[in-house]
Amino acid sequence: MSNYPDRVITSQSQDFNAWYLDVIANAELADYGPVRGTMVIRPYGYAIWEAIQEFLNVKFKETGHSNMYFPQFIPYSFIEKEASHVEGFSPELALVTIGGGKELEEKLVVRPTSETIVNHMFTQWIHSYRDLPLMVNQWANVTRWEMRTKPFIRTLEFLWQEGHTAHATPEEAENEAIQMINIYTKFAYEQAAIPVIAGRKSRVETFAGASKTYTIEAMMGDRKALQAGTSHNLGQNFSRAFGTQFTDENGQRLHVWQTSWAISTRFVGGIIMTHGDDAGLMLPPRLAPIQVIIIPIWKKDAEKMEVLNAASSVKEVLQTAGVQVKLDDSDLRTPGWKFNFWEMKGVPLRIEIGPRDVSSRSVVISRRDIPGKQGKVFGISMEPSILLAYVKDKLDEIQSSLLGQATSFRDSNIVDVSSYDELKLAISQGKWARGPWSASDEDELKVKEETGATIRCFPFQQPQGIKTCLMTGNPAEEVAIFAKSY
């Protein structure tokens, strides 16, 4: 904390990108690694990732997946086996060519994703229908040689989980892909307070090697879209390329149907850019490493002891009840400095305790999500059960209030369009455009070229009624959402 640089944070309206980088530096979420495009995830940022892991890991296990670990070095020849996969990933590969001082006979790919090596192993483990479904997940690092990088959002190396499953039927694989995007959606809404829009990617935007890609798309504070998680129905693309077959009940050899799905440290960037404001970070209580910061206030030395004692008991009460609480009893900074610092770090609730509070056996509690005096409540009793109930209640309120604010923001920035002109207008205003779409891949690429926007998804939640493609005037089955994106 002593090296908190007391830097001003650029305002969002002035330069959203500068604001983002300022928050990351000031809140000590991440730092730049020595190799271009790499990122060091610092303890406070990593703690957010740990909270994400903790929640998802339980959900994955509840739905029958086991964790395991695949090696990160993949023979180059593997990547070449699935045609669209190699096309999608070959420009982004990091290659190991020297090992133990010697030039290698075959170059090794540092995994950009693991479908190929997973299939290589699955062929050895899957023999009959009794081995299916095979449902695994790994928490791992992956490497993609990105040219334009940004902490959390797009880095040369990042952390993620990648689930990989194999099934006996296409229906099961489809159900699995949908189940996992639903888990991500629920996680985004309920834990991260991010009202993502879940849907299907267009053919153009589908993962290299997948039959269908499902996605959750989040609107950031600058109204750009962030793809925050994906779930792929891989069909038989990889199983055909690798010969991943099983014998069914009738003794027939068939290729398995597969899925893969991932959420990465990019999600941390999504949290920052969804909830943050000009004062800094604002963390949803359910993922906040520190949910409550206690700041003791004293002027005279005589007051210090009793204030610190009271602060410690309050901490004890909350901690015992499972609240993530920290007491900032440092002598080095003033209370005012601490208020700003922990506000900037996005801690949902602040408890102040001064000599007068000690006398009245009460505390002052401020909400991070309501600025200034409106968010400040005096005279909350220190009586453990009352205080604890109040704190838990407020944390819940903040959690829903953040989701509510983000939802209003999102909804007020999505425009329903029925023509290409309307689409262009919406995009030029920085908004998302939603409109019926049944045009060609070429038309989709034309939109991208002319407006900078891409189809983020065909949302699962579709409006009723007859639809006419905004581009061609032909009948359309679905609306698509167009937006500029990260």
Q: Give the residues lining the site for a copy of itself (CB under 8 A).
A: 2-3, 31, 33-35, 38-43, 45-47, 49-50, 66-75, 78, 90-101, 107-108, 110, 117, 120-121, 124-125, 127-128, 130-131, 136, 140-141, 143, 145, 147, 156-157, 159, 332
Residue 357's alpha-carbon distances to 150, 306, 323, 436, 475, in angstroms, are: 45, 11, 21, 59, 67
- Residue 99 Cβ, how far from a copy of itself at the closest point, in Å? 5
* CA 227 distance to own-chain centroid: 8
Q: Tell me if the bond preceding 133 is cis, omega within 30° of 0.
A: yes
Q: Identify which of residues 33 and 221 has a Cβ nearer to a copy of itself in the complex.
A: 33
Q: Identify which of residues 327 and 433 has a Cβ nearer to a copy of itself in the complex.
A: 327
Are 39 and 157 contacting, i.e. CB atoms less than 8 angstroms apart?
Answer: yes
- Taking only Cα atoms into account, the Rg of the chain, rounded to an integer number of angstroms, comes to 25
Between CA 239 and CA 166 the distance in angstroms is 9
SS3 218: strand
Strand partners, 292: 325, 349
- Residue 148 Cβ, how far from a copy of itself at the closest point, in Å? 12
Q: How many residues does the structure list for the chain?
A: 486
| Position 270, amino acid | G
Q: Identify which of residues 8 and 35 has a Cβ nearer to a copy of itself in the complex.
A: 35
DSSP 265-316: THHHHHHHHHH-BTTB----GGG-S-SEEEEE--SSHHHHHHHHHHHHHHHH
Between CA 366 and CA 264 the distance in angstroms is 32
If phi > 0 it is left, if psi is from -120 to 50 it is alpha, else beta; for residue 368 that is alpha
SS3 445: helix
- Residue 60 Cβ, how far from a copy of itself at the closest point, in Å? 12
Between CA 185 and CA 486 the distance in angstroms is 19
Contacts of 356 by beta carbon, 8 Å cutoff, 6+ apart: none
Q: Identify which of residues 81 and 232 has a Cβ nearer to a copy of itself in the complex.
A: 81
Q: Identify which of residues 96 and 445 has a Cβ nearer to a copy of itself in the complex.
A: 96
- Token representation of residue 249: 């009940």
Q: Identify which of residues 20 and 78 has a Cβ nearer to a copy of itself in the complex.
A: 78
DSSP 400-415: HHHHHHHHHHHHTTEE
- Residue 238 Cβ, how far from a copy of itself at the closest point, in Å? 15
- Residue 100 Cβ, how far from a copy of itself at the closest point, in Å? 4
- Residue 126 Cβ, how far from a copy of itself at the closest point, in Å? 8
- Residue 166 Cβ, how far from a copy of itself at the closest point, in Å? 13
* CA 199 distance to own-chain centroid: 16
- Residue 416 Cβ, how far from a copy of itself at the closest point, in Å? 40
- Residue 101 Cβ, how far from a copy of itself at the closest point, in Å? 6
Q: Identify which of residues 55 and 482 has a Cβ nearer to a copy of itself in the complex.
A: 55
Q: Going along 335-463, which residue ranges are E strands?
A: 349-353, 362-367, 376-381, 414-416, 432-436, 454-459
- Residue 33 Cβ, how far from a copy of itself at the closest point, in Å? 4
